[in-house]
Amino acid sequence: MNQAKPPTAAPQLDKHLRTRPISVGHLRAFEAVARHLNFRAASDELALTQSAVSRQIQAMEDEVGVSLFLRHTRAVELTGAGAQLLRAVLPSLERMDSAVRLIRRSAGRKSVAISTWASFASMWLIPRLEAFQSEHPDIDIRIDATDVPVDLDTTDIDLALRYTKPGNVPAGAIRMFGEQLTPVASPWLLKSGHALKRGEDLAHFALIEASDAHRTQNLEWLTWRRWLDAHKFKKLEPKRWLYFNYAHQIAQAALTGQGVALTRMPLVADSLASGDLVEILPGMRLDSPMAYWLIVGPRSAARPEIQAFCSWLTAQAALTRKAMGEA
């Protein structure tokens, strides 16, 4: 009588592989292939041969126990399991890379990485940076200008300067200053044409404002129409309209005498103080619900250079509040 043979070692090995955590050595190859959906492009990026990348993916599929890609003639496609794994791998690699950058940076030169939007960087932050660099010549500064909020937990950004309502900031955010909107113009424009002493006089000038404010629900208060309605000039029509995407473009157009701009006080306070721009109707400022905030990354807060920069930044913010007349 034939006796049943004992199970071979292969199924036991397969079961062992499918229950233990996978090794992380092949995750780079997996992420690169998943991003490019092409083995050749991934191998070029990783400086490996195509066959080496293919072997890494095959080894990873063996460990996971399912196929992660569908192989086609000229490209590959993620399977459902591959897409699920990619969603977990991406943030993990980002966190790891960010941690390595922080370690390397702490071992070398001191630096501060700041995320903010372009107009605030060019109109408020950059003109003041020379003072900080004079006080701290050993600290490098990096500014990443973007309108997209960054995750301070996963990126190598140390702090963010943001423009939003109070209810939209995380706990611990530091309010730098609020905002008022006010009409401004260049001195020579005021001398070269019609008098501009009352709100009604705006009808003789081009009015400059943000072009995207009309398309963005939360920025409707940046429009001239809101200012005109609030001050009982609902029927006033200007000589012409002039629209720009960015606050620094609006200010530049006003500086060159192209019209009267509705501007954000914190961004033009320096130009008003220097006389490059004139606040034409100072008694008719309009409050905005927005404010400017400093948000410090939790992994960066304890570093001395971050503390020094934040201390300097809050002192600069206090000067802007004073220039605006904000208590």
Cβ contact 259:242 at 8 Å: yes
CB 238 within 8 A of CB 192: no
Q: What per-residue string of b and e applies to 18-50 under the rule 16 or more CB within 10 Å gives b?
A: eeeebeeebbbbbbbbbebeebebbbeebebee
Strands in 275-325 per DSSP E: 278-279, 286-287, 291-296
Q: Which CATH class is domain 9-103?
A: mainly alpha
CATH of domain 109-178+291-324: 3.40.190.10
Identify the burial level of 4 via C-beta atoms within 10 angstroms of its C-beta, where 0-12 means exposed, 13-18 middle and 19 or more buried.
exposed
Read off the tokens for 45: 């990026």
Give CA–CA dist 261/151, Å, rounded: 34
Where are the chain's structural domains? 9-103, 109-178+291-324, 180-287
Q: Among 110, 70, 38, 164, which Cα is nearest to 304's? A: 110
Q: How sure is the predictor about 10, in pLDDT bands with cuts at 50, 70 and 90?
A: very low
Q: How confident is the model at residue 173 (pLDDT cuts 50, 70, 90)?
A: very high
- Residue 95's pLDDT is 82
Q: What is the pLDDT of residues 210-256, one digit of tens each?
A: 887 666 666 777 899 999 999 999 899 999 999 998 899 999 999 99
Task: Flag whether the pTM goes above 0.75.
Answer: no
What tokens appear for 273 in the block? 């103080």
Give the Cα-Cα-Cα angle 52, 57, 58 (nearest 5 degrees): 95
Topology of the domain covering 180-287: D-Maltodextrin-Binding Protein; domain 2 (3.40.190)
What pLDDT is recorded for position 319?
95
Matching fold, domains 9-103 and 109-178+291-324 = no
Q: How far, in Å, CA of 275 to CA of 285, rounded?
A: 18
Query: What pLDDT, on the 0 to 100 scale, is given for residue 292?
Result: 97
Distances (CA, A) of 108 to 28, 113, 137, 183, 242: 26, 15, 15, 47, 48
Of 215, 218, 217, 207, nearest to 243 (Cα)? 207
